[in-house]
Every structure is written in C-alpha cells, then in structure tokens.
Amino acid sequence: MNYLSLIVLLPVLSFILLIVFGKKLGDKAAHLSIAAVGAAFGLSVKALLDAMGGAHADLSFTWLTIGNLKLTFGLLLDPLAAMMLVVVTFVSLLVQLFSVGYMHGDKRYGWFYACLSMFTASMLLLVFSSNFVQMYMAWEGVGLFSYLLVGFWFEKRSASDAAKKAFMVTRVGDLGFGIGLIILFITAGTLDMSQVFAMKFAPETASLIAILFFFGAIGKSAQFPLHVWLPDAMEGPTPVSALIHAATMVAAGVYLVARAYPLFEQGPAAMEFVAIIGTITAFMAATIALTATDIKKILAYSTVSQLGYMMMGLGVGAFAAGTFHLMNHAFFKALLFLGAGSVIHAVHSQEIFDMGGLSRKMKITSLTFVIGGLALAGIPPFSGFWSKDEILLGAFESGHTAIFAIGLLTALFTAFYTFRLIFVVFFGKPRGHHGDHVHESPAVMAVPLMLLAALALTSGLLGSPFMGNAYQSFILGGHGGTEHHINYLVMGLSIGVAVLGIFGAWLKYSTNLLPSNVMSKNNIIYQLLVNKYYIDEIYEYTLVKPTHAIARYVLTFDQRVIDGAVNGVAWVISRIGGGLKYLQTGYAQNYALVMVISVVVLIIWSFRAIQLF
Amino acid sequence: MQIEWINLMPELMIFGVAIVVLLGELYLSANAKRILGVVSLLGILAALFSLTSLYGVEATEFMDMFSIDLTATVLKGILLATTALVVLATLRSRMTIGEGEFFSMMLFSVLGTMFMASANDLIMLFIALELTVLPAYILVGSKKTAGSAEAALKYFLLGLVASVILLYGMSLVYGLTGQTNFTAIANALAGQAIEPLLLVGMVMIVVGLGFKVAAVPFHFWAPDVYEGAPVPVASFLAVGPKAGGFAALIHFFPVALAVAAPIWAGLFAILAVLSMLLGNLAALAQTQVRRLLGYSAVAHTGYLLVGLAVADSFGYTALIFYFLVYSLAALGSFLVILATTERGLGENVTDFAGLFKRAPMLAFAMAIFLFSLVGIPPFAGFMGKVYLFGAAVRSDLIWLAVIGVLNSVVSFGYYVTVIRQMYLVNPTTDDAVTVSKPLYLSIVLIMAAVVFLGVYPSAFLSIINL
C-alpha cells in the first residue's frame, strides 16, 4: 500500500518544483501541476478500488519520541478517506484544468499553481491523517494556503481584507479544536485515531471534546455564527472558490465530524448541538441567498446552507446521508462555481441583473449550469435529490420533527434561489451592456464543466435504490449497513417543495404573471435578509471596534512603557557586549595568562566541590 | 597482535587519499590539479561508505588503544559527511595555496579527528589531537595576509599552551594510576577516595580539550581565526576539529573519570554558562559577519557542553544530535559567506544589504541557517535544543536549561540583524550574485538536511538509538 504516500507527495513535489522553477516554466507551470494532481487522482481511484475490495490500511511511523510522549505520523485508508481522496483529487484536477483558461496571462501564474498544488497536498494529508495532531497540522496548512489563494489578487484591497477575515474567523474555531485536542490527549493519553475510537468515554467527556472539535468545524465549514467569512472570500479567483469553497476546505469541517464520528456518537449532547447548528445554518443561509444579487455570493450562501444540511444529517445520526451529500455537493457545487466563472469570464460582471439571455450565446455553460441547478434544487434523478432526501429522512425517522420541517422549508428556498439565478442569468432578454462580445469559453474550460455535469447527473444514483444503495453499504463498511427502505411521504414532500420553489421562481422572474408589488423591497424581512441578518454589523460593533480601541490603547502603552523598557535592556546589553570586546585585547600573552588563571580558579573550585560530595 | 584491518578501513582510505592528493600536488600540472578536489571528494565518500559497514560493530584495535563503538562511528559519519560538503563547496574556489595542499591538509586533519573519536588511550588521544590541529594551523595561515598570519600564529601559540596543559594533566593522571588506557584508569580509580592531585589533572584535561572546542575562557582564538582564516578554511574549522574535541570529551570523562563525575559535570556546567553568556553577548556587538559567527560558535559550544553537564547517556546523544544540527547550520552560513565573498562582497553585516534581491536563493538559505541557529521551528536547531535542554530538565538541571533558553532568545538579536539587512534594506547595487554549481549544490543539500532534520529528527535519532 506504499503508493498511498505518493498521493500526498506528488502535489508536494509539484509545489517544490514550481517554487524553484516557476518563473522559468512560464505557461508550462500548469502542465506540471496538472500532471501531478492527475497522477494523484489515478492513485486515489486505485485506493478507492482497494478500499472497495476491503483493504484497510494504517501506515504509521514514529515521528518524534520525547520521553514517554510518542507522536506518530501516518496515513489511514478506510471507505470515508477513500471517498474523500477521489473527490478532492478529481475536483482539484478539473479546477486546475479550468484555470489554464481562466488564469491565462496572469503575471503570477506559476505561484498560483504552486499554491493550488500545496493546498491540494494539505487537503489530502488532512483526509489521510491517522492521528489528530497530523490532521490539525494539515488543517492549518489548508487554512494557510487558502489564505494565499483567496488573497491571490492582493493588490485589490477587498481581496486582501477578505483573505485576512477568512483566516482570522476560522482561527476562532481552530482555537476550540486545539483545546479539544489537548483535553482528548489528557483523557485518552493518545491522539492516534484508531486507538481513540476504540475507547469508551463518559458521555459528558465525549460531548465536551466533540463540541470543542465541532468549533473547528464551525469555522472551517462556515457554520453559524462563524459563516461570515465565506461570502467575502469570493474575492479570490473563481476557480479557487470552486475548489476551496465548494468541494474541499469547507467540507473539511464536515469531514472532521464524520472522521471523529465514533467520538460524537458517544456524546448525545454533541450530536444534538451539531444538528441544531446545522439546521440554523441551512435555513439562515438559504434565506439570505434569496435576496443576494452577486452570482458568486448566491453560490457562497448556498454552500453555507448545504454544509448546514450535511451537519444536520450527521447530527441526527444519518452518517451515510451526511457524507453522501458531501460528495454529491462537491461535484455539483464545483460545477456551479466553474459555470459562474465561465459566465464572469464572458460578461466581466458578477451582478446577476447585468446578465440575461446568456443561454443563446453560451450553450454548454448554460446547459451544464442548469444540470447543476437541478442537482442543487433536489430534483430527481440529479445527485442532490438522493442525498438531501436521505438527510431529511434521517431527521424524520429519528424524531427530529422540527428539524425535518425546517429542512423541508429550506429545500423550498433552495429551489427558489437556484432557479431565480438561472432564469435571470440564462433566460429572458439580455440586460446591461455586455452585448455581442459574449462568447462560449474555450474547450479547456468547457470540458471540466461537462465532466462535472455528468457527475451531477449520476453520482447520486450510487446511493439510490436503483443501485441497491451501493454508497451506503460501502461507506458504512463493517459497521453493519442499515436496512434501507423508501419513505414515499418524505420523498414526495421533498420533490414537491423543490418543484414548488422552481415554479415560484419561474412565475416571478420568467413571466409577467405576478404583479410587480409581490415581494416588495420595503418590508422588514427583505431588509433583514438583504443585510444578512446584520451579523457582520453585530460583529463590527461588539468585537471589531472594541478590539481596535483596546489595540490602540495597548499600542500607546507599548510604545511608551514596554518599548522604553526593552530599549533600556537592549542598551544595557549592548553596553555589556561592548565592554566584553575589551577582553579581547589581541595579545596572545594576555590570552595565555587568562588560560592559566582559569586553570587555577577551576582547580580551586573543584577542591571546594569535592567537599560537597 | 591480531588487527582487523576492516575495522580501520575508513581511516586507511582517508590516509591513502591524503597521501595521493599531496603527491598529486607535487607532480601534476596546474590544469590537472583541478581533479584533486574531485579525488578527495570521492575518497571521503568511499570512506563514508565503508564506515556504514561498521554501524553496530563494537571492537577494539591496537591493544585497546583504538575503540570502535556506536558513538565513534556516528561522529565519524557526521565528520565525513560535513567534510564532503566542504570539499564539494570549495571545488571551484580560488585557493590561497595549491589544491593538493589544501585538500590533503584538510584530509590529514580529518584523519586526526577520526582517531580522536576512537581514541581509548591517553597517548592515542594526544597524538590524534596534534594530528588534528597541526594541519589546521597551516590552513589558517595559508593566506599571505597579516590577518591570516596573525590568526595562525595566535592559534598556534595558544594551542601550544593548551597542549602543554593537557599533556601535564594527562601525566598527572598517569602518575596516579599507572595506566594510559581509559578503562584501565577507571579500574584503577574505582572504589578509592578522590586524590586532590587527580582533580588537578582532571581540570587540566578539561582546559586542554576546552580550548579545542573554544569554550570560554579558552576561546580567544576562535573569533580571530574565524575572521582571519581564508573562508574555505573557516568553513572547515566550524565542523572538523570541533567534532574531535567533543568526541574526546564524551569518550574520556564518562569512561575514565566516572568516579569524579559530579565534579567534572559541575565544571562543564560552569564552562557552558560562561560560553553561552559571553559568546552571545559579545556577538551582539559585532559588525563583521565572520567574527559574529565566531562568537556564535563559542555560544554553541556552551549549548553543547550542557550535554556533558547532564552527564548521562541521554545527554551525550542529545549532544551528538545538536552537534550535527549545529555543524550543518554553521557550515551552511559559512558557505553562503564563501559564495558572497567570492563575488567580491564585503564581510560586514551591512554588506549583506538587499542580498534577497541580488541572490534570492542565497538569502533564503542564509535565513534558514540563521533561524536554525537561533532554534526556531521547524528547523533542525529547534529540535536539537528541545532534546538538549530536555536532557537538562530530565536531570533536574532546570536552571541550566533556563539559561540556555534565555540565551537563545538573546542570540536572536544578532542573527536577525543579518536577516534584516538581507531582506529589508535596499542593496546599493542590483547586480545579481552568481554562485558556482558545486557550491550551490552543497548549500542546497545542507538546507534540505536542516529542514528535514527539523521536521523528522527521528531519522537521525533512531541511528543513535535515542
């Protein structure tokens, strides 16, 4: 199973080569990076096949031993990791292909691919980790490289601000994760996953650790109330959003919960907490998406909402459904982001009301975008339907009726905002002044779209009754696959609200059947949504401004008092240093004299020391 | 007397190559002499290869005068590897003396150091030590300038004083025990009260060897030599002879003078504190880079002596690991200086201004080496200090560890001035600084090792069974 380490090492190698030779390679930088991630994808597929054949690898070696503390480093392959590996490498491969066209001519082309490579490597390491320390390190690595990628156009003030915000906000959650790790180590004495998962914890301990871990997930997966960074992070290049903010990094939080599931399951309180946070997030983000007008922000809020669904699924105990939605969402949301990239590439605007009627000019983009939209809205047989239905079913059957109802309502909103976007952008009459020069994107951008569209169409079938719920029995592995049955009530409701949502969007945005004063912009609810529940403002006034005030105060204190003290010490030390220089007279006889005197002093010292022993 | 020559293979190879290279200097034409460096490099690599077959072998030769054990083998490995890097780096350097002379002197000195690492007898130790330093004197003085000559003369005269003190100490030990073999000395001393005269002898041996490793207050030669010697020589001195000194220290004291362990451990603690304090404080006031590194070398001797003050096997292994880590970073920074001075840059800290713009790779490498010397993770220096100070804490020498950590903090002050110059100050000229390929390769290899050992120290620690 040694090829497993290559999956991580290939992108690292590509990163190193790009850092050293990036400038010389020029446009060829992309080829190198794509070749590396392509090979990693091939190996990941092999890993998946091996995992389907029942292989279960745990390659660990001791990394550090300090006294009794032993830290291991290793790779763990199980169905969950294998599934994630394929998703990460595949989406990364397509995004890198797409970027050949999208980033063409950028002056930091090589650096862009270097960052993408290392981001992919960190993400793969995270997925593969056999212990929590390594996972935490990879987790931070992912954060660092996403910071560099979001702030890629750092000349733009808003881009570097967004990168900073993403980094800072996720750090708040990571603090919880870190504390959770420390508590876990104190109670369990190890951070090795297979050892931890084999242990029994008291429900309170398990809940505490799991909730602290979940704080990390709240940050990374943009859950309420730390979701504020994700919409801002749309300042990065669009392919980056497709990779980081659809398929990989934001999914890392969900993955953490899924990975540490044995721990979560032992803490009922933690499970409830995950379910509730997930539900709030799913609902809130979907409502915000109803009023957003920036194509990428709509998709960003949609991502937040869908991640909420995944958490909801995991929280109500539907493990297979949550991870299944993670996989399906990765494909169709990457598709939607890349499609949005293709549109932005053509129109040079992100405002949906600047667009319109694009389906005539951009056939491939609009067709694939609609497929992605159907998957997101949850229309069978597209992928999103199967997993979302499973999540709702899980909530329903575990007796979380309120969560089920909110989930259903959210599904209605999801279908509505998705098709509001589609009708406004791709149908109707052209708006704005993009006029005639709109054109379909080049093949290198179109092919990834088509591949992802094919997956958005089919990946859900893996978990459908038509294929005997193959996904569920694979991911649950030896954990005893649950008996699957179809609940026509839930399924009917879920299809019903999706159709209703699409129909509503059609009525409002594609026909003139509704009087224009329906959904007026002057009511309180609209204002609340368009201002994103004022959460950014709340942070601004309760956290950011007071912190700045304290920082200013500390700065003055630092300059006047501490700096003074430090400078004083530095002055004294350099005086001593200057004084010591005179010991070095340059005369050999003086040195010899010092040596002889030292001999005498040391002999006297050792005579005195001998009395002590 | 049956001698297993295979156990002496690495030494024999170095000896052979040294002779061949010296003869080559005599008989080859100026052009043909260029291959002497390559011959030396191949010889060292061959010796390193034959050394690997001795891994795990425990034996003694020459009637117990020469012992082979894990510590000696690992130290020889470090020595040969770093020397190979020095030779690689200087392949294209303009020499102050003939290539053959330069490389053969270096090889003879290495040979002496290898014998020091294996010495199990006072006489063997003394001869090996002289063999180590005599070529070093010649190398230091090989540049025909006042600075070089002054440094060589000082090094030679003070070295002579140190040798005399060392020899006197040895003769006292011999007089008390009637033995020169380390184990025999230990047997003779076992179970007896410690004689005052033994203490006198012991202190003198500490002083004699302390001089070789540049411990305060026997360090005076170090700044002058590091500054005055030709740069390739200074690079070699940062690793070669120092390895011999520490090899002798961790072989002689724990074995022969085990009875007086608390006392010599105390002596080393004193020297460690003095060296750390004086080395770091004096370095703060330096404006010349090589002199700064000279004082930094003194400070690092202080850190290394902590391992001897701990006086248990954990301490010695931590010392060996730190020695490897230190010698890589020190060698690396000297090679960067070699690269810049060969292109006519000065040696003041301010001459490094804007190096980042003129030679990004060199500036980056230098920054990594200096960070490693300070002990900033994830570079090797950090792990080295973790183990070294960890060993001190383990043996309840917490105060020593605290002084060590505080000194590391102070040392940041002078290393960062160099980094600041390289990265934040604008260069006076934008001319690119080019580096010869072998030197570049050598620097890159060291850089990789510094990062690798910082990230995965177990790779080396498992070799020395820590």
CB A115 within 8 A of CB A147: no
Specify if B227 maps to a domain.
yes
Signed CA dihedral, A112, A117, A122, A124: sign only: positive
Chain B hits for A603, CB-CB cut-off 8 Å, are 199-200, 203
Question: Are the beta carbons of B157 and A594 separated by less than 8 Å?
Answer: no
The residues in B 400-419 lying below 8 A from A, measured between CB atoms, are 410, 413
Nearest to A71 by CA among A79, A60, A61, A63: A63
- Alpha-carbon distance values, A372 to A282, A453, A455, B229 (Å): 19, 6, 9, 71
Residue carrying the six token digits 């389907």? A52
Please report whether residue B444 resides in a domain. Answer: yes
DSSP code for A480: -
Q: What is the pairing mode between strands A57-66 and B59-61? A: unpaired
CA-based nearest distance B26→chain A, Å: 35
**A573, B284 in Cβ contact below 8 A?**
yes
DSSP string, B159-201: HHHHHHHHHHHHHHHHHHHS--BHHHHHHHHTTSPPPHHHHHH
Q: Which tokens sit at A441?
A: 């994107």
Q: Cα(A253)–Cα(A247) distance, rounded to whole angstroms? A: 12
Q: Is A571 on the interface with B (CB under 8 A)?
A: no
Asked, for residue B189, whether it belongs to a domain, the answer is yes
Residues of B in contact with A68 (CB under 8 A): none
What is the average pLDDT across A308-312?
Answer: 90
Q: How far is B43 from chain A (nearest CA, A)?
A: 32
Phi/psi of residue B195, nearest 5 degrees: -75, 145
Contact B285 A62 (CB under 8 A): no
CA angle A21, A23, A24 (to 5 degrees): 65
Report the run of H or E that residue A51 belongs to, with start and end. helix A29-52
Tell whether B177 is covered by a domain. Answer: yes
Please check the confidence at residue A518 and state whether its pLDDT lies above 70: no
Q: Which of A5, A8, A137, A124 is nearest to A61 (CA)?
A: A5
| pLDDT at position A127 over 90 | no
* Cα B276 to Cα B308: distance, rounded to the nearest angstrom: 14
Between chains, do A580 and B285 touch, taking CB under 8 Å as contact?
Answer: yes
Residue pair A211/A273 in contact by the 8 Å Cβ criterion:
yes
Question: Is residue A578 within 8 angstroms of chain B, CB to CB?
Answer: yes
A247-251, A290-294, A520-524: range with lowest mean pLDDT: A520-524
Residue pair B269/B397 in contact by the 8 Å Cβ criterion: yes
Do residues A495 and A374 touch, judged by C-beta distance below 8 A? no
CB-count exposure of residue A572 (10 Å: 0-12, 13-18, 19+): exposed
Separation CA A312–CA A289 (nearest Å): 19
- The minimum CA-CA distance between A370 and chain B, rounded to whole Å, is 48
Residues in Cβ contact with B53 at an 8 Å cutoff, skipping those fewer than 6 apart: B6, B9
**pLDDT grade for A565, boundaries at 50, 70 and 90:** low
Quickly count: other Cβ atoms within 10 Å of residue B447's Cβ.
Answer: 22
Spatial distance between the Cα atoms of A236 and B324, rounded to a whole number of angstroms: 44
- Residue B121 domain flag: yes
Is there a contact between A598 and B458 if contact means CB atoms under 8 Å apart?
Answer: no
Residues A466, A473: Cα–Cα separation, whole Å: 14
pLDDT at A482: 53
Query: Is the model's pLDDT at A436 over the cut of 50?
Result: yes
Residue B211 at interface with chain A, using a CB cutoff of 8 Å: yes
- What Cα–Cα distance (Å) separates residue B39 from each residue in A6, A296, B42, B87, B439? 37, 64, 5, 10, 17
pLDDT in tens, A166-202: 787 888 888 888 888 888 888 887 788 888 888 888 8
Q: Is the ipTM of this complex over 0.90?
A: no
Report helix angle A383-397 to A401-426, nearest 10.
160
The pLDDT assigned to B196 comes to 86
**Closest CA in chain B for residue A597:** B217
Task: Tell me the average pLDDT of chain A.
Answer: 80
A594-611: burial string, b at 16+ Cβ within 10 Å, e else: bbeebbeebbebbeebbe
**Mutation for testing the A interface, residue in B153, B224, B263, B321 having most A CBs under 10 Å:** B263
Q: Which of A61, A592, A610 sits opposite B263 (nearest CB)?
A: A610
Q: How far is A588 from chain B (nearest CA, A)?
A: 6
pTM for the structure as a whole: 0.65
- CA A467-A468-A474 angle, 5° bins: 95
Shortest Cα distance from B154 to chain A (angstroms)? 6
A594:B220 CB<8 A? yes
When CB atoms are compared, the residue of A65, A578, A603 closest to B285 is: A578
Residue B127 is part of which domain span? Answer: 5-461
Residue B406 inside a domain? The answer is yes
Q: B344 at the A interface (CB within 8 A)?
A: no
Q: Does A54 touch chain B (CB under 8 A)?
A: no
Kindly state whether B267 is in contact with chain A, defined as any CB-CB distance less than 8 angstroms.
Answer: yes
Which has the closest alpha carbon to B88: B443, B337, B451? B443
Residue the block writes with tokens 């201004």: B353
Question: So what's the pLDDT on residue B129?
Answer: 92
Q: With 0-12 CB in 10 A as exposed, 13-18 as middle and 19+ as buried, what is A564?
A: exposed
Task: Report pLDDT for A434.
Answer: 57
**What pLDDT is stored for residue B238 in this prediction?**
82
Task: Please answer yes or no on whether B199 and A605 come within 8 Å at the CB atom.
Answer: no
- Could you tell me which chain A residue has the CA closest to the CA of B452? A63
Give the nearest partner residue to A591 out of B200, B220, B410, using CB atoms: B220
What's A541's DSSP letter?
I
A contacts of B267 (beta carbons < 8 Å): 602, 605-606
Contact at CB, A613 and B263, closer than 8 angstroms: yes
Burial class of residue B455 in the structure, from the number of CB atoms within 10 Å of its CB (0-12 exposed, 13-18 middle, 19+ buried): middle
Quote the number of domains for chain B. Answer: 1
| Count of C-beta atoms within a 10 Å radius of residue A529 | 16
Q: Does B377 touch chain A (CB under 8 A)?
A: no
Lowest mean pLDDT among A166-170, A411-415, A475-479, B327-331: A475-479
Distance CA A222, CA A169 (A): 9
Task: Assess if residue B441 is contained within a domain.
Answer: yes
Residues A491, A493, A497, A503: what is their CA dihedral angle, to the nearest 10 degrees? 90
Task: Say if A593 is an interface residue toward chain B (CB within 8 Å).
Answer: no
Choose the closest CB to B158 out of A570, A581, A591: A591
Measure CB to CB from residue B458 to each of A65, A584, A591 and give the nearest one.
A65
Q: B51 to chain A nearest CA, in Å? A: 26
Does residue B466 form part of some domain? no
Rounded to the nearest angstrom, the minimum Cα separation between B444 and chain A is 12
Residues of A in contact with B387 (CB under 8 A): 66
What CA–CA distance (Å, rounded) separates B418 from B293?
11
- Could you give the count of Cα atoms lying within 13 Å of A249 in the half-sphere of its Cβ? 33
pLDDT of residue A77: 83
Q: Would you give the DSSP letter of residue A442?
A: P
User: What's the confidence (pLDDT) of residue B275?
Assistant: 94
Q: Between these two residues, A541 and B284, which has the higher pLDDT value?
A: B284
- Which portions of chain B are predicted below pLDDT 70? 1, 466
**Percentage of chain A modeled with pLDDT above 70:** 87
Q: Which residues of B touch A581 (CB under 8 A)?
A: 282, 285
Is residue A480 pLDDT above 50, yes or no? no
Count of CB pairs separated by less than 8 Å, A with B? 95
Which residues in chain A have Cβ-Cβ distances shorter than 8 Å to B281?
Answer: 573, 576-577, 580
- For A343-395, write each residue's pLDDT tens digit: 887 877 777 777 777 777 788 888 888 898 888 888 888 888 888 888 888 88
A-chain CB neighbours of B261 within 8 Å are none
Residue A603 has its nearest CB partner, among B158, B199, B390, at B199
Task: Kindly report the nearest CA distance between residue B220 and chain A, in angstroms.
Answer: 7
- Give per-residue burial for A311-327: e unless 16+ CB within 10 Å, then b: bbbbbbbbbbbbbbbbb
User: What residues of chain B lie within 8 A of the CB of A610, using their CB?
Assistant: 194, 196, 199, 263
Amino acid identity of residue B20, one-letter, is V
Cβ(A246)–Cβ(A338) below 8 Å: no
Is the per-residue pLDDT at A272 higher than 80?
Answer: yes
Tell me the residue length of chain A.
Answer: 613
Q: Residue B357 to residues A152, A526, B288, B434: CA-CA distances in angstroms?
A: 22, 54, 21, 12
Length of chain B (residues): 466
Alpha-carbon A581 to chain mean position: 56
Beta-carbon separation of A574 and B285 below 8 A:
yes
pLDDT in tens, A204-247: 888 888 888 998 888 888 888 888 888 887 777 888 887 888 77
For every residue of A236-280, DSSP letters joined together read: S-HHHHHIIIIISHHHHHHHHHHHTHHHHHT-HHHHHHHHHHHHH
- Best interface-test mutation with B: which of A603, A604, A605 has the largest number of B CBs within 10 A? A603
B218: chain A residues, CB-CB within 8 Å: 595, 598
Q: Report the residue from B165, B217, B461 with minimal CB separation from A594.
A: B217
The region, left, alpha or beta by phi > 0 then psi within -120 to 50, assigned to residue A348 is left
State residue B136's pLDDT score. Answer: 92
Contact A595 B217 (CB under 8 A): yes
Instruction: Flag whether pLDDT at A582 surpasses 70.
Output: no
A602/B267 Cβ within 8 A:
yes
Q: In angstroms, how far is the first alpha carbon of chain B from the final one?
A: 35
Question: DSSP states of A128-191 as a string?
Answer: HBSBHHHHHHHHHHHHHHHHHHHTTTTTSHHHHHHHHHHHHHHHHHHHHHHHHHHHHHHHHS--
Question: Buried b vs exposed e over B140-178: b needs ≥16 C-beta within 10 Å?
Answer: bbbbeeeebebbbbbbbbbbebbbebbbbbbebbeebbe
Residue A613 has pLDDT above 60, yes or no: no
Q: Running DSSP on this structure, what letter comes out for residue B328?
A: H
